[in-house]
Structure 1
Amino acid sequence: MIRLQQASGGIDRRTFLKLSFGSGFALCAFPVGAQTAGGASPTPPAPPVPPSAFVGIDAAGTVTVTIGKLEFGQGVQTALPMIVAEELDADWSKVRCQLAPAGEAYKDPVFHMQMVGGSTSMKNCWTQYREVGARMRAMLLAAAARRFGVPPAQLKADSGVVTTPDGRRATYGELAAAALAEPVPASVQLKSPQQFRLIGKPVDRLDARDKSNGTQQFGIDMMLPGMRAVVMVHPPVFGGRVARVDTASAKAIAGVEEVYQVPLVGGATGLAIVASGFWAARRAREALRVEWDTTGVEKADSTALLARYRELARQPGTQASTADTAALATAPHRITAEFTFPYLAHTPMEPLNCTIDFRGDQCTVWAGSQFQTVDQANVAAVLGLKPEQVIFNTMMAGGGFGRRAVPTSDYLFEAAQVARARYAAGRREPIKMIWIREDDVRGGYYRPMHLHRVEIGHDGKGQVLAWKHVIVGQSITMGTPFESFTVKNGVDSTMVEGVAGSPYPFPIALQVHHPKVNVPVLWWRSVGHTHTAFVMETLVDELARSAGIDPVAYRRTLLREHKRHSAALDLAVERSGYGKRRLAAGRAWGVAVHESFDTVVAYIVEASMRGNQPVVHRVTAAVHCNMPINPRTIEAQVQGGMLMGLGTTLPGAQITLKDGVVQQGNWNDYRLATHADMPAQVAVYIVPSADPPTGIGETAVPPIAPALANAVAALTGKRYRSLPFGDVT
């Protein structure tokens, strides 16, 4: 029997705003925290959260820091405890970390919701987590002062021990219980950067050992007594609905219990197979015979979309920035270029999954979520509960790249629908849903397809006289609760970032088109910068070479007012030996520098050609992310982001559609970079700074593809105008 369970499509925009943002949300980041010796910026005062929500100290002196973020490879499970431990003066060898469940105390202090995104964890939590550590330290000192009869100002805290002037000592473990009874100080004095002993030092990750020996538990590893496995069957075309299904063959497989027809996000319907184990459900999926109704559903086609985008690019669009383009008609030199970028899938290593235990008046969820507040509310809406009736446990996740930050909570929405159907049928077993990779590649969310058309008039000596720029692509945020914060005057800021507000002093007239397409889109690691950086950095390089100016010298002139860009570029140039070291025959330099999420990354690459394919031999990266919390994590993030960015250049690194159906399904036909694509030499350098930290998780992705393209242009005299790399022009 097939059962269709009707339920809401999730929380609406008003509810989303009320639940998530309360005191004012903005996707654009802004400084937070009280003014401190470390240089953080002020915000309106708020009652301090008790440090006990974030810091636990046991009798042995082990300090456990609870963080409100998801750890999925970016290193927050080490960096945030480092911030707390620095101000706490803890013994780092005794510091541990755990991920917080969804809860009010753990909401991001800027976004006012619990989330990870936009490379903001260090930036937004810098002051908050320092104050947590400093408040806990003050309470420990107050407890020690009572014990020893000594004023707190005369006590010294160091490496988890409080010492009196006459040498009496008490460990944090001995003082912890009494410290929690002390009042939480409203304000605390934070250290100056010159006093840091942990922050800025390369530190091994707290989760490295468990990940290396296989004991780390991810969401997909969750096991509960009596738990059932759930595998979904999604329509082949977005928005399709089940017309007819024959379940006999599927139910004949041992272990298969039921097949439910459930609503999907956006009005489609799908099938949920429930079985005693994953393999039985997976086999049943293949045995199902389903007919789909796609009547009235747009069937997107990549070839047709490209033609449509080209037509739009030649038509007036929505103005994003203005400039006088009259000089295009009379400029002595002209560049006209079209750039294309395909849909991209996220494909994290760990497939999407969640575990739900629904008990009628309460539900417990285990998931690796970037959007705990949103996912908790969406699950509650499906089940007819209040968010506080949903206990939402954050699990370690094996990658995400934005895919686990979905306003619709698509896979959790589906799991909640199945849990609801099971409960209505009298079943009380917990369920674990796993989207196999083909589900996500063929029916998930994508980085939008984009087309840029650029016309530049210049004098042949490096001076740009006019720049007309059109971008065509779907909006990520229109129609979502984020629209009012990211879309201004009809322009989705996440699409134009990297062109609008460019540090280059060019007179850019920018227009956009946001076509409606029946393909679900979402932020993908570094969002709009994934395509805008390629366009801007290859065109800057082309302008330099057309004027006979060294590309580095040209950028230095253009960026002289932007000190952080200049510092990153200069450091990369110095460390690479650019212009000083003689390259092997058949090799050339490639340069790019780009700011995203308030961090600047500069690359100098050495590349050659092997037939028609470029080969990267060496990459020198310089990063300006202000205060480096953990240089070891920064190095790893740059290495990983660089390889991911190189992956976008590889043949096959694209999602294509034909008659509404995604043509790729897994890593056999959707190309990702692997160890074999890693350059032989990669060096990462960090520009020293004592200013409050900026982002690092996404910022290494955008500049590497244009740096490589610029090296190819130096070798061949021809330009790549699209990703992945195809023919050069």
Structure 2
Amino acid sequence: MTANLSRRGFLKSAAAAGAVFYVGANTKGAMAASNSADAMLNHFVKITADGRAVALCKHVEFGQGSATGLTTLIAEELGVTMEQIDYEFAPSNPAIYNNLLFGPFQGTGGSTAIANSFTQYRTAGAAAREMLISAAAKEWDVDAGALDIVEGVITGAGKSAPMGEFVAAAGEMEVPAEPRLRDAFEWKIIGNAQTRRLDSPIKVNGQAQFAMDVHLDNQMVVMVRRTPQRGGTVVAFDDSASKKVKGFIMAQALPTGHGVAVYAENTWAAMQARNALEIEWDFSAAETRSSQEIKDEILAALNAEPTYNVNKADRTAVKTTVDGAATVLEKTFYFPLLAHAPMEPLNCTIEQTAEGDIVLHDGAQMPTGPHMAYQQIFELPAEKIQIKSMLAGGSFGRRATPDADYQVEAALAFIMTDRSRPVKLVWDREDDIRGGYYRPAAGHKVRVGLDETGAIIGWDHQVAGQSIMKGTPFEAFAVHDGVDHSSVEGIADSPYTIPGQALGLTDTEKATSVLWWRSVGHTHTAYVMEVMMDLAAKTSGKDAVDYRLDYLTGEGDAARKAGVLKLAAEKAGWGSAPAGHAKGIAVHKSFGSYVATVVEVSGNVDDGIVIEKVTAAVDCGIALNPDTVIAQTEGAIGYGIGHAMRDQITLDGGAVEQSNFPDYEPLRISDIKAIETHIVASAEAPTGMGEPGTPPSAPALANAIAALSIDAEHVAELPMSANGVEFA
């Protein structure tokens, strides 16, 4: 999706030295320019008089590389090097900085940052370039068509000068109706494997400012003692012991009743005072189920008729076909709740200015959410709410909740003060693991019928689990005919051409709170699809790659999926393995991208599995920043494999049993000996890369383990370490 940037008119900027030139789309689709006195309105590009360019990034940077990607687009079209451009985060304003794939909503997610911005940011950069060139052409009395901007210098027709000399004059120019975008053969930065991330140096040298680094004058730190069971409320509390902690200020029950906020002069005092609280809870409306009860509910749903017939198939006919097949493969899968566990726990800082504006400092993934919530909480118009986006230390979906949970919590803590002091909300690791939102638990029951040749003739597939989208603002576009598509994505829209397939879905009661998790429903649907395809190939005595290719016919999705499958197999040396080693493969499409993964393992399930190497092939359209694509693929693979190996969130009477990394262990660098990524050259529009590496990683591992011996089983319940697989 692209923005309509035609028939635009520019407002005029002050023609004084030192003027700053902004380019961006306003609510009517027109372009706008202003000098520095006009603040940060209606802009994507900023160019100062000294020729320094700045890209205004509408997407948060939490490690996925979007800030570098968006800046690359501006730099390429404008005609500057990556050393001549900086980036800043755009303010919260969904009328201007909305995600073009989300609608009137500003946010980062679904691996859409580059996909929705590719044309938009290139167009903004090209418009700025042509206006600067027009200003220079007018002054030099030459044809603008003879000029270009190269490394920040306007050159051509025997003339040259730094573009900064024409900033003020450019502000007087009309915007081109359709600025010319550079052809691919002209690109110097897009697709350049040598382009490095702009945020890496400051993260290495400590200059990077994350939300946790915010420290305002005279601020208080607030930490919340939350209900141990989701839905519990405070009856009463005693802060007598808390008052003895040096630095303690006060304690107040949140207006929601879901916890007690403890205010202190610093984080350590807030922690100690919070831990000293005595609280009486009311759990009458709280989650009380255990993990086993939740699992039993999901498995029971799999053994009953599904609520929704997702693909409208004749289920009776499909069952009859499977029952009459020469070979019937049947497997039941279960996936537990999972935490996101980003390295930087949730936090944000809120203050009120002398003018009465509310300012939130936050690594905001979906700034429109807290912006709207704050208008209600503080009873202020949108323009009186400011959200200053900071770097965020990871998210994986956790910083984007439908109810803006932690930002609202900070606001509630702030309104219980006299607002004379900023309030910084801090979560610790235990808060994050025990009090957050989780990847839903899900189950699958699959029965596949094979004929005498091993070909699939019927596929009966049932899914049961907790809907993420229902009951949220996203329900209107994510749920159709009662079906939450995020529960069945990767099955209902699989590029595989599978004959006789029926797909059913049943929603079960949500456990505590659920949320999208890196790659959302694809986290479990890819696992099931790829393990069952592998099991069918193994049962048929056919090569796992060749078997999959038989069901990837035609052009489009199937061809691109087949392309990465063959490339991964080639680069991994498929078909051969050292003695005592085995390889497993999986391939999946998600968020518009195609990823195939080959995992090579050694050892055995009893004495310990060793992951020797992971080889991935990626087709994400134009690889805007190849270095970032590789990094995101490797990170996503590690995230998927690490969680499949040993992680789960379990409940005892509704309370989360895990608390920190010792019992919710992230992937260790020693868990995977080697990893490499290969990118398919493509001229297709760029698609997402923050998440697509995750779905095929775990099933490739499962398939590799099953390939170690002829009688080895495909692991059907995760995590593997709790279900018969030891890792060395």
Q: TM-score, normalised by structure 1?
A: 0.91
| 2:21 corresponds to | none
| 1:630 corresponds to | 625
Matched position secondary structure for 2:116: helix
Q: Does 1:276 align with 2:258?
A: no
Q: Conserved in 1, the CA contact under 8 Å of 2:621 and 2:681?
A: yes
For residue 163 of structure 2, the aligned residue among 153, 164, 172 is 172
Q: Deviations over 1:420-449 (max 9, x none)?
A: 1113xxx41001001112112111100000
After superposing the two structures, state which structure 1 stretch, 706-715 or 153-162, moved more. Answer: 153-162
Please give the root-mean-square deviation of Cα atoms over the aligned residues, in Å.
1.7
| 1:87 corresponds to | 77
Partner Cα separation in structure 1 for residue 470 and residue 216 of structure 2: 39
For residue 281 of structure 2, the aligned residue among 268, 277, 292 is 292
Q: Mapping of 1:97-246 within 5 angstroms?
A: 97-103=87-93, 104-111=95-102, 112-165=104-157, 167-202=158-193, 203-246=195-238
* Gap change, CA 1:626 and 1:35, over 3 Å in 2: farther
- Counterpart code for 2:559: K
| 2:573 corresponds to | 577
- Deviation of residue 460 (structure 1)? 4.4
Partner Cα separation in structure 2 for residue 671 and residue 431 of structure 1: 31
Q: Deviations over 1:313-356 (max 9, x none)?
A: 11112111133412122111101110000000011111100100
- Deviation of residue 378 (structure 1)? 1.1
- Counterpart code for 1:545: K
- Counterpart code for 1:85: A
Matched residues, percent identical?
39
| 2:654 corresponds to | 660
* Gap change, CA 1:460 and 1:534, over 3 Å in 2: farther
Q: Conserved in 1, the CA contact under 8 Å of 2:372 and 2:382?
A: yes
Partner Cα separation in structure 2 for residue 624 and residue 161 of structure 1: 35
Partner Cα separation in structure 1 for residue 31 and residue 293 of structure 2: 54
| 2:298 corresponds to | 309
- Counterpart code for 1:271: V
- Deviation of residue 727 (structure 1)? 3.5
Gaps of 5+ in 2: 7-26, 35-42
- Deviation of residue 491 (structure 1)? 0.9
* Gap change, CA 1:508 and 1:189, over 3 Å in 2: same
Q: Mapping of 1:570-719 within 5 angstroms?
A: 570-579=566-575, 582-612=576-606, 613-651=608-646, 653-677=647-671, 679-716=672-709, 717-719=712-714
- Deviation of residue 308 (structure 1)? 1.4
- Counterpart code for 1:577: G
- Counterpart code for 1:65: A
Q: Of the two structures, which has the highest relative contact order with CA contacts closer than 8 Å and spacing of 6 or more?
A: 1
- Counterpart code for 2:669: H
Matched position secondary structure for 2:523: helix
Matched position secondary structure for 1:665: coil
Q: Does 1:337 align with 2:331?
A: yes
Q: Conserved in 2, the CA contact under 8 Å of 1:109 and 1:128?
A: no
For residue 509 of structure 2, the aligned residue among 500, 516, 520 is 516
* Gap change, CA 1:117 and 1:587, over 3 Å in 2: same
Gaps of 5+ in 1: 1-30, 37-44
Q: Deviations over 1:447-492 (max 9, x none)?
A: 0000111111111423222211111111001111111110111110
Q: Conserved in 1, the CA contact under 8 Å of 2:497 and 2:553?
A: no
| 2:522 corresponds to | 529
Q: Conserved in 2, the CA contact under 8 Å of 1:331 and 1:459?
A: yes
Partner Cα separation in structure 1 for residue 166 and residue 654 of structure 2: 64
Matched position secondary structure for 2:373: helix
Count residues in correspondence: 680
Q: Conserved in 2, the CA contact under 8 Å of 1:383 and 1:417?
A: no
- Deviation of residue 187 (structure 1)? 1.5
After superposing the two structures, state which structure 1 stretch, 171-180 or 494-503, moved more. Answer: 171-180
Q: Conserved in 2, the CA contact under 8 Å of 1:299 and 1:518?
A: no
Matched position secondary structure for 2:707: helix
| 1:440 corresponds to | 432
- Deviation of residue 728 (structure 1)? 5.5
* Gap change, CA 1:33 and 1:362, over 3 Å in 2: closer
| 1:66 corresponds to | 56
For residue 492 of structure 1, the aligned residue among 456, 477, 484 is 484
- Deviation of residue 384 (structure 1)? 1.6
- Deviation of residue 60 (structure 1)? 2.6
Partner Cα separation in structure 1 for residue 451 and residue 542 of structure 2: 13
| 2:17 corresponds to | none
Partner Cα separation in structure 2 for residue 429 and residue 727 of structure 1: 51
Q: Mapping of 1:323-472 within 5 angstroms?
A: 323=313, 324-325=317-318, 326-359=320-353, 361-423=356-418, 427-472=419-464
Partner Cα separation in structure 2 for residue 673 and residue 77 of structure 1: 26
Q: Conserved in 2, the CA contact under 8 Å of 1:48 and 1:186?
A: no
- Deviation of residue 216 (structure 1)? 0.4
- Deviation of residue 611 (structure 1)? 4.9
* Gap change, CA 1:128 and 1:248, over 3 Å in 2: same
Q: Conserved in 2, the CA contact under 8 Å of 1:200 and 1:629?
A: yes
Partner Cα separation in structure 1 for residue 33 and residue 690 of structure 2: 27
- Deviation of residue 174 (structure 1)? 1.2
For residue 550 of structure 1, the aligned residue among 543, 549, 573 is 543
- Deviation of residue 195 (structure 1)? 2.0
Q: Conserved in 2, the CA contact under 8 Å of 1:718 and 1:728?
A: no
Query: Structure 1 runs of 4+ off > 6 angstroms?
Result: none
